[in-house]
Amino acid sequence: MSAVSLESVPLTRLRPMQPTDLPEVFTIEQQAYVFPWTLRILQDCLKAGYRAWVLEEGTHLVGYAFLSVAAGEAHLLNLCVDPSYHNRGYGRRLLNHILQLARQYQVDMIFLEVRPSNIPALHLYTSAGFNQIGVRKNYYPHQNGREDALIFGMDLTG
């Protein structure tokens, strides 16, 4: 067994998203999705006061998340990790932070939608304790027309 030098482990930190982060967030969004959110949507989310967080490795932004909180519920609107940083635990770190925030806001339930074709996201959400509670037919744009959204929820009262 070999020890890992602390110098070789990248430093990461979570912080609230700033408007100056949006160009880098938008670049990641475009790299991660065939049908990305527009820069205007990202800007509007910040203006609307959604809880938006970024995850940095050193000085590089590697992921972000948007959370809406209202009326005792939370909705994870977007959680995204730069594709070149996949499979390093960053998505789980962001999700855990979002769940912690939702609990701090004392919400009863948190919801999200996910494409059935997004197998890594499905694994992340189910392994974190989310359960499928419904389907939104033809919700997402797709190369061949439309794709359903699976609706997931988690009870945070227990």
- Rounded to the nearest 10 degrees, the angle between the axes of helix 22-32 and helix 39-47 is 130
Ramachandran assignment for 138, one of left (phi > 0), alpha (psi -120 to 50 degrees), beta (any other) = left
Residue 64: predicted pLDDT: 98
Q: Is residue 66 a part of any domain in this protein?
A: yes
pTM for this one? Answer: 0.90
Q: Is residue 5 a part of any domain in this protein?
A: no
Q: Is residue 83 a part of any domain in this protein?
A: yes
pLDDT tens digits, one per residue of 94-121: 999 999 999 999 999 999 999 999 999 9
Of the candidates 85, 90, 125, 140, the residue annotated as catalytic is 125
State the residue range of the domain holding 108: 11-155
- Alpha helices, H only, the chain: 22-32, 39-47, 90-104, 119-128
Q: Is residue 106 a part of any domain in this protein?
A: yes
Read off the DSSP letter of residue 8: G
CATH of the domain at 130: 3.40.630.30
Is residue 64 among the annotated active site residues?
no
Q: Is residue 69 a part of any domain in this protein?
A: yes
Q: Is residue 4 a part of any domain in this protein?
A: no
Residue 11: predicted pLDDT: 76
Is residue 85 among the annotated active site residues?
no
Q: How far apart are CA 36 and CA 127, in angstroms?
A: 25
Of the candidates 24, 57, 73, 113, the residue annotated as catalytic is 113
The answer to whether 118 is annotated as binding is yes
Provide the mean pLDDT of the chain: 92
Rounded to 10 degrees, the C-alpha dihedral 102/99/14/104 comes to: 30
Task: Identify the segments of the chain with pLDDT beneath 70.
Answer: 1-10
Q: Is residue 6 a part of any domain in this protein?
A: no
Beta bridge mates, 116: none
Q: What is the tally of structural domains in the chain?
A: 1
